[in-house]
Amino acid sequence: MADDESHAEEGDSRSDRTVTGADAETPAAPRADGGAVDDVALDPWGSSTVADYRKLFEEFGIEEFDDVLDSVSEPHYLMRRGVIFGHRDYRPVAEAMLNDEPFAALSGFMPTGDPHIGHKLVFDELIWHQQQGGDAYGLIADLEAHSARGIQWDDIDEHAESYLLSLLALGFDPEEGELYRQSENEELRNLAFELGSKANFSEFQAIYGFDGETSISHMQSVVTQMADILYPQLEEPKPTVIPVGPDQDPHVRFARDLSTRMRFFKVTEAYASFELDDAERELVAIAYEALADGTDDAETDIRCEEAAEWLEDEAPDSTALWDTVETLKAGGKEPLRPRVRFFDRNATEDAFEALIEAIDGEKRVYEGHIDTFDLDREAAEELAREIEVDNGGYGFIAPSSIYHRFMTGLTGGKMSSSEPASHISLLDDPADGYDKVKAATTGGRETAEKQRELGGEADECPVYELYAYLLTGDDDEFAAEVYEECVNGERLCGGCKEQAAQLMEEFLEEHQEKREEAKELLDDLDIQLESSRK
């Protein structure tokens, strides 16, 4: 890695995200290595770095965004370039966009310092979803800043206003969206209280590592964040996406769990009056299909004990197999019939009775659940949610999320607000932004000759990252051109940094002009800029 001015002026290049090889017209996904420390622990309040993004797919169940990209109409350039690399359950949001159905996007900003170019990723993702027709929510996480970081309220107020100005300057439409502070939103706090009834301290220990030294207010701030994530669904259940960095995934997973626990009914597929776990249900389904092929009336002819015998003879040996066989044998001659089951999870008595009335066709009612034989699972889910909402429940849809790569610091390593040279604040003097880019670490070779011969390492360069994440905007051809010229040895780093520095200076000038224009707009909005908690 080259960093001194002797080759910074002639051949100083190092890139970290976008086009590789074959197709110079279409930037490819960034490489998995984000230039971070060798650590995959996800800590929402720690140093945000991930050594290998592939581990997130394996260890935390985050899905690759490429798998859902084709279902997104006119995707944002951060999606096209692989900067947005992963998701949890984004398909319902993509389908809502395609079908012009309600959906929402929400993201929060902890006001601990000035907004910088890393935050712009989240601003852009939120604004893009709003432009696609989503209900957009931008929140100031002031309770979290005060409880988790110890930021004083005067400082919180100053930083909160700054975040809001940048969000508005970048295109957030407050007439079509909602902006709020955690501390001033009573509906949010009420929801947090209800969600807290479904959480316990052992989970806070397991998820966040909280212990006896953790303050109660810090724990309260976590439940408040769960309420933030579900807040867009207070008026009506709808698919909701939370754009975040992967370090925030613990919050998303916890919110998804709580959204499920709050539901009145759990809907599952079943085959008999007794319950099966997922592994058992899969084996019973296989046995049922096999036996149904050889009978005229599967609904009455197939018995639990027959399925047990078939599994003993045909299924591969496993613990799940023998557990399933024992369960089926206990069912004896009870007919095995596919059905959809509604479990009473939190339903009121009125809601349970309303569901019984609403189910058409054959059904069986038990003390804690209802079985229906004429509804498929999707229709049953819709009915359960409708009954729940009609009877005072939330009917939450588990929230979705998308994950973007962390920006590498201009000096290499992570971008840190505590290291001014590593990042560019959206409030930096444009001339200072220019200077920071000019001084940035790059992926250039040791000499200009080697750069021309071997090409630059564009996948290792904070400066190229600036092009891919920000400076080329929606222009994929421009991003691809910079990349290809670098790796082919046509672009030397001195000229590349000069171009990037000029573009950064222009961006900061334009952004700060728009921030000034946004001040009047912010004054007219229904959001409290000065905390009542001083």
DSSP string, 417-460: TT-GGG--BTTS-HHHHHHHHHT------SSHHHHHHH--BGGG
In a domain, residue 528? The reply is no
Q: Of 151, 125, 154, give the one whose Cα is nearest residue 138.
A: 125
Residue 40 pLDDT class (50, 70, 90 cuts):
very low
33 has a pLDDT exceeding 50: no
Domain shared by 230 and 340, yes or no: no
pTM: 0.85
Give the residue from 390, 422, 443 where a domain finishes.
390
Q: At what angle do helices 216-230 and 201-208 cross, to 10 degrees?
A: 80
Task: Identify the pLDDT of residue 26.
Answer: 36
Per the structure, how many domains does the chain have? 3
Residue 353 pLDDT class (50, 70, 90 cuts):
very high
Q: Is 197 helix (H, G, I), strand (E, B) or coil?
A: coil
Q: What percent of the chain has pLDDT over 70?
A: 87
Domain shared by 254 and 273, yes or no: no
The mean pLDDT value for 163-175 works out to 97
Give the residue from 378, 404, 430 where a domain finishes.
404
DSSP-assigned beta bridge partners for residue 303: 335
248 has a pLDDT exceeding 60: yes
In a domain, residue 251? The reply is yes
**Mean pLDDT score of the chain:** 87
User: How far is it, in rounded angstroms, from Cα 458 to Cα 30?
Assistant: 10
Lowest-pLDDT range of 50-54, 164-168, 383-387, 395-399: 50-54
Domain shared by 64 and 122, yes or no: yes
Residue 31 pLDDT class (50, 70, 90 cuts):
very low
User: How far is it, in rounded angstroms, from Cα 271 to Cα 337?
Assistant: 5
Domain shared by 12 and 142, yes or no: no
Q: Is 180 helix (H, G, I), strand (E, B) or coil?
A: strand
User: How far is it, in rounded angstroms, from Cα 234 to Cα 531?
Assistant: 24
Domain shared by 104 and 215, yes or no: yes
In a domain, residue 532? The reply is no
Domain shared by 156 and 60, yes or no: yes
Domain shared by 511 and 466, yes or no: yes
What domain range is 123 assigned to? Answer: 54-262+400-404
Contacts of 134 (CB under 8 A, 6+ apart): 93, 96, 97, 103, 104, 105, 241
Domain shared by 98 and 226, yes or no: yes
Higher pLDDT, 246 or 240: 240
Higher pLDDT, 300 or 46: 300
In a domain, residue 413? The reply is yes
Q: Tell me the CATH number at 419.
A: 1.10.240.10
Higher pLDDT, 453 or 32: 453
In a domain, residue 320? The reply is yes
234 has a pLDDT exceeding 80: yes
List, for residues 372-404, the tens digit of each pLDDT value.
Answer: 999 999 999 999 999 999 999 999 999 999 999
Contacts of 132 (CB under 8 A, 6+ apart): 97
Residue 444 pLDDT class (50, 70, 90 cuts):
low
The mean pLDDT value for 249-264 works out to 95
Token pair in block for residue 350: 């009125």
Task: Identify the pLDDT of residue 23.
Answer: 34
User: How far is it, in rounded angstroms, from Cα 103 to Cα 233?
Assistant: 9
Task: Identify the pLDDT of residue 409.
Answer: 84
Lowest-pLDDT range of 15-19, 374-378, 480-484: 15-19
Integer CA distances (angstroms), 501 to 17, 231, 498, 504, in order: 18, 40, 5, 5
Lowest-pLDDT range of 115-124, 177-186, 380-389, 406-415: 406-415
Token pair in block for residue 337: 């019939």
Contact assessment for residue 93 and residue 103, using Cβ atoms and an 8 Å cutoff? yes
In a domain, residue 530? The reply is no
Domain shared by 302 and 243, yes or no: no
94 has a pLDDT exceeding 90: yes
The mean pLDDT value for 334-340 works out to 94
In a domain, residue 48? The reply is no
- Burial code (b: 16+ CB inside 10 Å, e: under 16) for 434-449 equals bbbbbebbbbbbeebe
Domain shared by 247 and 122, yes or no: yes
Contact assessment for residue 508 and residue 430, using Cβ atoms and an 8 Å cutoff? yes
Q: At what angle do helices 430-438 and 493-523 cross, to 10 degrees?
A: 150
Domain shared by 415 and 309, yes or no: no
Residue 296 pLDDT class (50, 70, 90 cuts):
low
